């Protein structure tokens, strides 16, 4: 059975794609027939394992960018209330 894999950023561990997105890592049978096993989407989601992105360096993590943005916004707000 093929293995559903969700990739994470090496630097922070956040998911590269959205929560419902996964790649299938092909099993021997899939490799020899050149066809992925059919797995029920619910089963696939339950069996997803996280792996660190093995490819080339990714751009900045979008989750971290969002967190940084929220932090900046709250700091700006805090600055306003201080004055
Ligand atoms: Zn398979
Ligand atoms: Zn991140």
Higher-pLDDT residue of 82 and 59 is 59
Ligand 1 centroid to 24 CA: how many Å? 8
Other beta carbons within 10 Å of 9: 19
- Does position 73 have pLDDT exceeding 90, yes or no? yes
Which residues contact residue 83 at a Cβ distance below 8 angstroms, ignoring those fewer than 6 apart?
Answer: none
pTM confidence score:
0.73
Ligand 1 centroid to 2 CA: how many Å? 3
pLDDT digits (tens, 9 = 90+) for 12-60: 999 998 888 899 999 999 999 999 999 998 999 999 999 999 888 888 8
């Amino acid at each position: 059975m093929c293995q559903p894999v969700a990739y994470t950023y090496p630097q922070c561990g956040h998911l590269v794609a959205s929560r419902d997105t996964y790649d299938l890592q092909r099993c021997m049978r899939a490799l020899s027939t050149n066809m992925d096993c059919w797995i029920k989407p619910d089963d696939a989601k339950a069996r997803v394992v996280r792996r660190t992105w093995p490819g080339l360096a990714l751009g900045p993590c979008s989750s971290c960018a969002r967190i940084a943005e929220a932090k900046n916004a709250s700091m700006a707000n805090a600055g306003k209330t201080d004055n």
